[in-house]
């Protein structure tokens, strides 16, 4: 989305989207605003959603990174710090 060469912050996960190789090549060194119309052509729903969302909103890579981290941790990994296996009983216990 934003060029990594502009800032270290741009190398965060919040600045990465799935995109077809041919569309990625079209993006080249275009500005983020110019890339939005290319994202809108993607077969990936996430890229199309980014195109819609950021036509009218400013991209904040740090906020998007935090939101993605929470989504991955809470919804995808479903990790709980209280999940453990009792080695004696072989029963998995959870705080859920």
- State pLDDT tens for residues 31-90: 999 999 999 999 999 999 999 999 999 999 899 999 988 988 888 777 665 565 655 655
The total number of structural domains in the chain stands at 1
pLDDT digit string, tens, across residues 13-28? 888 899 999 999 999 9
pLDDT in the model for residue 81:
57
86 has which bridge partners?
Answer: 91
Rg of the chain over CA atoms, in angstroms?
19
- The owner of tokens 């939005």 is 36
Give residue 51's domain range.
4-93
46-81: b or e for each residue (b if 16 or more CB lie within 10 Å)?
ebeebbeebeeeebebeebbeeeeeeeeeeeeeeee
pTM of the shown model: 0.68
């Amino acid at each position: 989305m934003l060029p990594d060469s502009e800032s270290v912050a741009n190398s965060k996960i919040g600045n990465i989207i799935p995109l077809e190789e041919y569309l990625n090549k079209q993006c080249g060194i275009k500005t983020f605003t110019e890339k939005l119309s290319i994202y809108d052509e993607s077969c990936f729903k996430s890229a199309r959603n980014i195109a819609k969302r950021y036509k009218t909103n400013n991209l904040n890579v740090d906020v998007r990174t935090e939101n993605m981290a929470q989504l991955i941790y809470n919804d995808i990994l479903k990790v709980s710090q209280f999940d453990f296996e009792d080695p004696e009983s072989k029963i998995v216990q959870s705080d859920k």
